[in-house]
Structure 1
Amino acid sequence: MFCDTEMAGRIERMETGAIVGGVRVGSSSVGGFSQEIAGGAACFAGANSPLNKVVGVGFGGVPSAAQWAAVEAAYAEVGAPVQVELAHLADPRIGAALTARGYQLASFENVLGMRVGGRAWPVPQSVEVRCDDENSVDIWLDVVVDGFAHPDDEGVPAHEEFPRDILATVIRDMAAAGDTHRYLAYRAGVPAGGASLRMSDGIAALTGAATLPAHRRNGVQTALLSTRLNAAAAADCELAVITTQPGSKSQRNAQAQGFALLYTRAVLVKDPA
């Protein structure tokens, strides 16, 4: 599957909208902000939040030096580093400008995608997946947060770790923002994993998938992935996307289902100190 700059821009705009929505849901009491910059947004949702980052830049023009200075000042005011997630299909002048401003490469993340029309994905019979939208968010939240708290060792490790309470707050806020659907996977009647699905502008973003350690390597991730792909196809989405750590088990599972690597984001960080 080929990804051009137009497709990457659509995906980045969807991602930006989701991050901004999460910030708006949960940051009013902590001095959070979201500032538009060159088609993307600089976001802050409270100390140590995973939503503290600049996303989506590079598909709506090249930020000026004054715009970067304003963003850096906003993060400096709240004592947070500036973290930019920059797609490799974005305007290359942005990476050069950030390097000149003292940003350092911290990590990468992969964006994978696939066409979803005209297909059906089988769900392993050993796993039952239920849409959890009508039930209490607490069970789903506990499962997802506990799964994220014990990441797989496979692949390139994430460059950040977050306290459980902050992670839970962000996941809850993101689930409450926009058209997001929650899914719980069960093995032998016991919650084993959870995930979410967000759909907008013909794109289905498969997000927040996590499996409890005791239930890994038993088809839980495959069941959650297949169920959400079927839901995306039923909603007439044309494209499904998923973001993974390079070389991770999640990337392996996604590619086994037919996902292809669309592009990579470089994570560039500048400390206010």
Structure 2
Amino acid sequence: MALVNNKELAKKIEYIKRKGTKDYIEKQLERNPFANSACLSLEGKGDFFYTGSMSFGVGFGMEDSLAKRDVEQIEEFIRNKKGISHARFELTPFCDPLLLALLQEQRYTLEQFLAVWVLDLKAWKPVEKSFSGNTVEIAVVANEDSFEWAWTVALGISKDNTVSEETMEATRTFLEVPGNTGFLLKDNGESAAGGTLAIDGRLGELFLASTVQAYQGKGHQNRLIEERIRYAKEKGCTHITVTTEPNTVSARNMEKNGFGLIYNKAILRSPEIK
């Protein structure tokens, strides 16, 4: 299967993102009906998500066209939502040009790009594990380890090296989503890094990975990438995808591990919605 300019593979990639986010929000609302999360699904067109301080639409323009009234419905959906004042659409290169024209007409502007990577597992060969001094261990997260995993991942993402109980619980909810698996890396017995793998059919997705500040620069994320690739292949996946910002350490890690850039997504942001 050719990876570049492959609209069918792109649809599967966008679908796994849509499904995973919808399932996560559903689990969040089961835990707390007042959680700041919501999803608006436009049948056959795409899904629009609100998660606290973010809003983003996925899948739009790849199948049925989006009309002006649909954009107005989405903007009304997020109007007065706490913490946000803009609607964002993630558009692939396979998007209907009419949607791009519509959003430009509504004064949406380019905010940033995201890089979408894919690895063909049929051609991937595992390498011999060689952790320096045998100080590193990686394990699939069991129920009893979910708090430790959530704390580690949340701490690695934290900008001030602190983790609130609310943030840790929001992170732990990802493990309750069907198809998601967490991985915890320990260095000399101390929790140092974590990552997540989602599987839908024969497609896997790497996401939600971080390293605790004291253990950064030791190659732990590359070890977690390889371990999740290995696991996905054992589970029957034929491809793995991951999304990064362009020209970042994460993007370079994907290249090191054999991923190829399949497309860039343009993030278009609305004017302020009042």
TM-score normalised per structure 2 = 0.87
The C-alpha deviation readout for 1:78-104, integer Å capped at 9, x for no partner, is 253212112222222222211111212
Residue correspondence of structure 1 range 42-121 to structure 2 within 5 A: 42-45=48-51, 47-48=52-53, 50=54, 52-78=55-81, 80=84, 81-117=86-122, 119-121=125-127
- What is the deviation of 1:113? 0.5
CA distance in 2, matches of 1:7, 1:232: 17
CA distance in 1, matches of 2:114, 2:242: 10
In structure 1, the gaps of 5 or more residues are 152-162
1:125 paired to 2:131: yes
Kindly, what percent of the aligned residue pairs are identical?
20
- What is the deviation of 1:168? 3.8
- What is the deviation of 1:164? 6.0
When the two structures are aligned, how many residues end up with a matched partner?
Answer: 259
The C-alpha deviation readout for 1:167-195, integer Å capped at 9, x for no partner, is 54543333321211110111122111000
Instruction: Name 1:262's counterpart in structure 2.
Output: 262
CA distance in 2, matches of 1:111, 1:6: 14
1:272 paired to 2:258: no
Contact map agreement 1:147 1:212 (CA 8 A) in 2:
yes
Instruction: Name 2:220's counterpart in structure 1.
Output: 220
- What is the deviation of 1:215? 1.2
CA distance in 2, matches of 1:64, 1:82: 16
- What is the deviation of 1:62? 1.5
When Rg is computed on C-alpha atoms for both structures, the one with the higher figure is 2
**Secondary structure of 1:135's aligned partner:** helix
**Secondary structure of 2:241's aligned partner:** strand
**Secondary structure of 1:226's aligned partner:** helix
- What is the deviation of 1:40? 1.6
CA distance in 1, matches of 2:187, 2:198: 24
TM-score normalised per structure 1 = 0.87
Comparing 92-101 and 63-72, the one that deviates more:
92-101
Residue correspondence of structure 1 range 200-215 to structure 2 within 5 A: 200-215=200-215
C-alpha RMSD of matched pairs (Å)? 2.1
**Secondary structure of 1:267's aligned partner:** strand
CA distance in 1, matches of 2:37, 2:11: 25
Instruction: Name 2:45's counterpart in structure 1.
Output: 39
**Secondary structure of 1:136's aligned partner:** helix
In structure 2, the gaps of 5 or more residues are none
